A and B are shown apart, each in its own frame.
Chain A
Amino acid sequence: MNGGPVARLDNMTKKNGAAGPQGNKRGNNLVVPGDDLGDSEGFEAGHGVLEMSGRLKALKQGRLREKGRLISIEPVHTRYIPRPGDLVIGFIEGCTNNLWFIELGAPFNAILPMSLGPGKVDFGGTRSVMDIGDAVLCRVQEVEETHSSVVTMKGMGLRKIRSGVVEEIDPHLLGKIIGKGGETLRRMKAETECRIVVADNGRMWIDGELDGILDVRNRLSEISRDSRGGRN
């Protein structure tokens, strides 16, 4: 998952003069909940890290990341949690007269209001434009504190998906698929002659010739199999 400096509940410790992990767990990359990450003096608590009485503490199991003064944990395995700006692929799960409910693989469904939908939609006509079960490429516009989110389809390339297939993969494997600077993904696109859109919620839209799609699928399942020794 890519993470900009988004206001998230878990880095709202707000005592920033922080500083970090001195010694102990720093060299060892993997941490588990409860691990002491050292003195908080001069460091900032990021995702999955809590600052408590002058010490930093791990809240999640995962890899420790240091970006300047920011100490965060990249979970090894986790559910997708929407963040504003994420490109996502969702499935329509319900409609009312003026909005769609979109399933993103997150704990809660997102809503897509008519005003942010594709083109012009008449009141009551939501279902004739995009029906239940349709896949859409959209962007997360807003996430409330209660985890309800709003997605939008206004923007470059955002659309209803009419061709190709949507594949699902664990969000934490996305980095592996994309590679350094997008290298692995670029190679996969070139070799399979497919159009591939990787969304932040762990879904991928693959479009192209049937052989190419099958090829991509095989590669994906190989990547899944390699991580965690056969899990997923």
Chain B
Amino acid sequence: MGGYGEVQMIDENGIRADGRGPGDIRPITIETGVVPVADGSCRMTWGTNEAIVAVYGPMEAHPRKIQRQDRAVLDVAYNMAPFSTTDRMRPGFNRRSREVSKVTQDALESVVLLELYPRSKIRISIEIVSAEAGTRCVGLTAASVALADAGIPMMDLVVSVASGKINDVVVCDLNKEEDNYGEADLPMGIMPNSGELVFLQMDGDLSQDEFKQAWEYNMDAAQEIHKLMVEALNGGDTQ
């Protein structure tokens, strides 16, 4: 990256192309119970991203060789729908979706209390219906809401959000252009109550100061998004 330095994505007043300030996130909506047959589900829109997550389980793990005698296993499948991007995605798994599934699974394994359900499996399907930038963050955040909706015990919800660098300025929650032509991207998975991390990746280079700034943007955004998640989980209920 860094070869697109002449693309102006943020002006001298710190206003980005889509009108946001450097620390602002795109608009988010969260809804639970959208897949009636699933044990828990969530639809999340984040800017023009949209993800639908369904959670099934705990159930008996099949085939038997994947069972663990002391804990449950998670089966996370992240998939982008063929119609989710402007040029058609080839259906099925690819290198990228496998990677995202893997990191999402690792992140969720550190919050779900797996040892309460030995020999079981919890299946999490993340379907990206509309993709802009930061779909792994949308998928992970929505997955934690769906897990909570399914009544699965967890240490905390997970809020995932990315900050990055565009035109040498650190900004929060990159959109498509900023992600494509920017210099760096730092997605994080945060446990909002303790501020602990369950997921951290970095694409491109950030100096130590820039890293700290991106970290702070992510932490602040996490608190903001966490409020919406709580509202979605508690508000959609009767009584």
Question: Which A residues fall within an 8 A CB radius of B?
Answer: 9-10, 30-36, 48, 50, 57, 59-62, 75-79, 107-109, 145-147, 226-229, 231-232
Excluding A32-B233, A76-B237, 19 further A-B contacts by CB distance (< 8 Å) are A30-B233, A32-B148, A32-B234, A33-B147, A34-B156, A34-B157, A57-B155, A60-B151, A60-B153, A61-B233, A75-B151, A77-B150, A79-B151, A107-B59, A107-B60, A107-B120, A109-B60, A147-B119, A231-B36
Rounded to whole angstroms, the CA-CA distance of A50 and B147 in the bound complex is 18
Q: Which of B60, B117, B156 is within 8 Å of A33, CB to CB?
A: B156
Q: Which of B33, B69, B151, B153 is within 8 Å of A231, CB to CB?
A: B33
Asked if B148 and A60 make an inter-chain contact with CB atoms under 8 angstroms apart, the answer reads: yes
Known: A48-B153, A61-B151, A75-B151. A147 touches B233 (CB 8 A): no
Rounded to whole angstroms, the CA-CA distance of A10 and B116 in the bound complex is 7
CB neighbours of A145 from chain B (8 A): 118
Can you pick out 21 interface pairs between chain A and chain B where the beta carbons lie within 8 Å of each other? A32-B148, A33-B153, A33-B156, A34-B193, A34-B194, A50-B155, A57-B193, A59-B154, A61-B233, A61-B234, A76-B151, A76-B237, A77-B149, A77-B150, A79-B39, A79-B58, A79-B59, A107-B58, A108-B120, A146-B119, A228-B33
CB neighbours of A146 from chain B (8 A): 69, 118-119
Rounded to whole angstroms, the CA-CA distance of A50 and B113 in the bound complex is 11
Rounded to whole angstroms, the CA-CA distance of A35 and B150 in the bound complex is 17
Rounded to whole angstroms, the CA-CA distance of A35 and B226 in the bound complex is 11
CB neighbours of A34 from chain B (8 A): 154-157, 191-194
B151 CB to closest chain A CB, in angstroms? 3
Q: Which of B57, B69, B116, B157 is within 8 Å of A32, CB to CB?
A: B157
Q: Which residue of B lies closest to A230 (CB)?
A: B36
Asked if A147 and B148 make an inter-chain contact with CB atoms under 8 angstroms apart, the answer reads: no
> Could you give, for residues 135-170 of chain B, a 1 whenever the CB lies within 8 Å of some chain A CB and a 0 otherwise?
000000000000111111111110000000000000
CB neighbours of B58 from chain A (8 A): 79, 107
Asked if A10 and B60 make an inter-chain contact with CB atoms under 8 angstroms apart, the answer reads: no
Top 3 A-B residue pairs of the complex, sorted by shortest distance between their CB atoms: A78-B151, A34-B156, A75-B151
Q: Which of B39, B119, B230 is within 8 Å of A108, CB to CB?
A: B119
Rounded to whole angstroms, the CA-CA distance of A31 and B57 in the bound complex is 21
Q: Which residue of A lies closest to B59 (CB)?
A: A107
Interfacial residues of chain B within 103-120, with CB under 8 A of chain A in the complex: 111, 113, 115-120
CB neighbours of B234 from chain A (8 A): 30-32, 61
Asked if A79 and B57 make an inter-chain contact with CB atoms under 8 angstroms apart, the answer reads: yes
B91 within 8 A of A: no
Q: Which residue of B lies closest to A74 (CB)?
A: B151
Interfacial residues of chain B within 42-64, with CB under 8 A of chain A in the complex: 57-60
Asked if A33 and B40 make an inter-chain contact with CB atoms under 8 angstroms apart, the answer reads: no
Asked if B69 and A10 make an inter-chain contact with CB atoms under 8 angstroms apart, the answer reads: no
CB neighbours of A227 from chain B (8 A): 238
Q: Which of B120, B149, B154, B236 is within 8 Å of A229, CB to CB?
A: B236
Asked if A147 and B236 make an inter-chain contact with CB atoms under 8 angstroms apart, the answer reads: no
Asked if B153 and A10 make an inter-chain contact with CB atoms under 8 angstroms apart, the answer reads: yes
B74 within 8 A of A: no
B23 CB to closest chain A CB, in angstroms? 24
A75 CB to closest chain B CB, in angstroms? 4
Interfacial residues of chain B within 176-205, with CB under 8 A of chain A in the complex: 191-194
Q: Which residue of A lies closest to B119 (CB)?
A: A146
Q: Which residue of B lies closest to A57 (CB)?
A: B155
Q: Which residue of A lies closest to B69 (CB)?
A: A146
Among A79, A109, A232, chain B packs the most CB atoms within 10 A around the CB of A79
CB neighbours of A228 from chain B (8 A): 33, 236-238
B237 CB to closest chain A CB, in angstroms? 6
CB neighbours of A60 from chain B (8 A): 148, 151-154
Asked if A108 and B60 make an inter-chain contact with CB atoms under 8 angstroms apart, the answer reads: yes
Asked if A35 and B193 make an inter-chain contact with CB atoms under 8 angstroms apart, the answer reads: yes
B25 within 8 A of A: no
Rounded to whole angstroms, the CA-CA distance of A5 and B116 in the bound complex is 18
Asked if B150 and A78 make an inter-chain contact with CB atoms under 8 angstroms apart, the answer reads: yes
Rounded to whole angstroms, the CA-CA distance of A10 and B157 in the bound complex is 18
Asked if A32 and B229 make an inter-chain contact with CB atoms under 8 angstroms apart, the answer reads: yes
Known: A107-B58, A108-B119. A33 touches B238 (CB 8 A): no
Known: A34-B192, A146-B119. A107 touches B229 (CB 8 A): no
Asked if B153 and A59 make an inter-chain contact with CB atoms under 8 angstroms apart, the answer reads: yes
Rounded to whole angstroms, the CA-CA distance of A232 and B238 in the bound complex is 14
